[in-house]
């Protein structure tokens, strides 16, 4: 059974204070690892897909990296508008194309 | 604006009643999904459809049914609602059955069963 664990559950940062969110996973052959952003009262918004260990992707102040057992979402010099819940999900190479989501990390960036 | 429309936005439903949550997309995506999101449990897949005319069961399908008569619409029906179905329901779509290009989610339906 695929499993995704995100840590920490919640993170408070001062504006400009860089940090990382962690996503640990166990999966039967990784097809893809996904990061989504979710704002309160809204549906998740797709950020990145990572396919293999060593891959990195960037978008504005966000950079996602992938190893064989975990992924990190690095946030550089965050701004208050980066406040959201960040969700990690995996898709295994076995069976259907379903995603298994983690419970998310709620990020608050304080001005 | 291209995307997914869900209706209603919120609903209070008496236990035992039948309810259909509507989902329409205008992106001509082949695959569509229904998730529920509960505090402390995250997003869990209820049902999915890789293409019009086909559907499949996800992680938590019991008490729910879906149909996919055409590409754009993917309604979710609760035949006889129970309080444990109180949740926020999200419809999503992807341009391929693999979903590797990411899902587009709707804004959700907040359902309370009393």
Q: Is B17 helix (H, G, I), strand (E, B) or coil?
A: coil
Asked if the model's pLDDT at residue A98 lies above 90, the reply is no
Whether the Cβ atoms of residue B58 and residue B45 lie closer than 8 Å to each other = yes
- Chosen for mutation from A99, A100, A102, A105 (greatest number of chain B CBs closer than 10 Å) is A99
Q: What is the pLDDT of residue A96?
A: 65
Would you place residue A95 in the very low, low, confident or very high pLDDT band (cuts 50, 70, 90)?
A: low
Q: What is the pLDDT of residue B1?
A: 62
Note the residue count of chain A: 111
The answer, for A96 touching chain B at a CB cutoff of 8 Å, is yes
> Residue A111 and residue B49: Cα distance in Å, rounded?
43
CB contacts of B101 in chain A (<8 Å) are 49
Asked if the model's pLDDT at residue B3 lies above 80, the reply is yes
Q: How many contacts, defined by CB atoms under 8 Å, are there between A and B? A: 60
Q: What is the pLDDT of residue B5?
A: 97
Q: Give the one of B45, B97, B100 whose C-beta lies nearest to A32's C-beta.
A: B100
State both tokens at B81. 């609602």
The answer, for B22 touching chain A at a CB cutoff of 8 Å, is no
In DSSP notation, A21-77 reads EEEEEE-SSEEEEEEEEE-TTS--EEEEEE-STT-EEEETTEEEEE-SSEEEEEE-S
pLDDT in tens, A14-73: 999 999 999 999 988 899 999 999 999 999 999 999 999 999 999 999 999 999 999 999
pLDDT in tens, B94-106: 987 677 888 999 9
> Scanning every residue of chain B, which has its alpha carbon at the shortest distance from the alpha carbon of A31?
B100
Q: Do A103 and B40 touch (CB under 8 A)?
A: yes
Among the listed residues B55, B30, B33, the one whose alpha carbon sits nearest the alpha carbon of residue B46: B33
CB contacts of B100 in chain A (<8 Å) are 31-32, 49, 51, 91
Q: Evaluate the omega torsion of the peptide bond into residue A8 and state whether it is cis, within 30 degrees of 0.
A: yes
What whole-number percentage of chain B has pLDDT above 90? 87
pLDDT in tens, A5-21: 999 999 999 999 999 99
Cα-based angle B112, A85, B57 (whole degrees, multiple of 5): 55
Q: What is the pLDDT of residue B76?
A: 98
> Residue B80 and residue A66: Cα distance in Å, rounded?
43
Distance in Å, alpha carbon of B62 to nearest chain A alpha carbon = 17
Task: Say which DSSP state B99 is in.
Answer: -
Whether the Cβ atoms of residue A49 and residue A88 lie closer than 8 Å to each other = no
Whether the Cβ atoms of residue A8 and residue A105 lie closer than 8 Å to each other = yes
pLDDT in tens, B33-89: 999 999 888 899 999 998 999 999 999 999 999 999 999 999 999 999 999 999 999
Q: Give the one of B42, B97, B104 whose C-beta lies nearest to A103's C-beta.
A: B42
Asked if the model's pLDDT at residue A97 lies above 80, the reply is no
Asked if the model's pLDDT at residue B21 lies above 90, the reply is yes
The answer, for A98 touching chain B at a CB cutoff of 8 Å, is yes
């Amino acid at each position: 059974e695929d499993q995704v664990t995100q840590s920490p559950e919640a993170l408070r940062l001062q504006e400009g204070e860089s940090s990382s969110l962690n996503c640990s996973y166990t999966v039967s052959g990784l097809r893809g690892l996904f990061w989504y952003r979710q704002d309160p009262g809204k549906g998740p918004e797709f950020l990145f897909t990572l396919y293999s260990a060593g891959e990195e992707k960037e978008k504005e102040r966000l950079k996602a990296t992938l190893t064989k057992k975990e992924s990190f979402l690095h946030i550089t010099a965050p701004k208050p508008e980066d406040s959201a819940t960040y969700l990690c999900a995996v898709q295994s190479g076995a069976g259907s194309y379903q995603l298994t989501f983690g419970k998310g990390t709620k990020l608050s960036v304080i001005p | 604006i291209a995307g997914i429309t869900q209706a209603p936005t919120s609903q209070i439903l008496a236990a035992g009643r039948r309810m259909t949550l509507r989902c329409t997309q205008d992106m001509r995506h082949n695959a569509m999904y229904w998730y529920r999101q509960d505090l402390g449990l995250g997003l869990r897949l209820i049902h999915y459809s890789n293409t019009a005319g086909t559907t499949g069961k996800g992680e938590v399908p019991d008490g729910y049914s879906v149909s996919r008569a055409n590409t754009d619409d993917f309604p979710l029906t609760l035949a006889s609602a129970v309080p444990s179905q109180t949740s926020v329901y999200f419809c999503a779509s992807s341009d391929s059955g693999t979903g590797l290009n990411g899902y587009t989610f709707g804004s959700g339906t907040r359902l309370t069963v009393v």
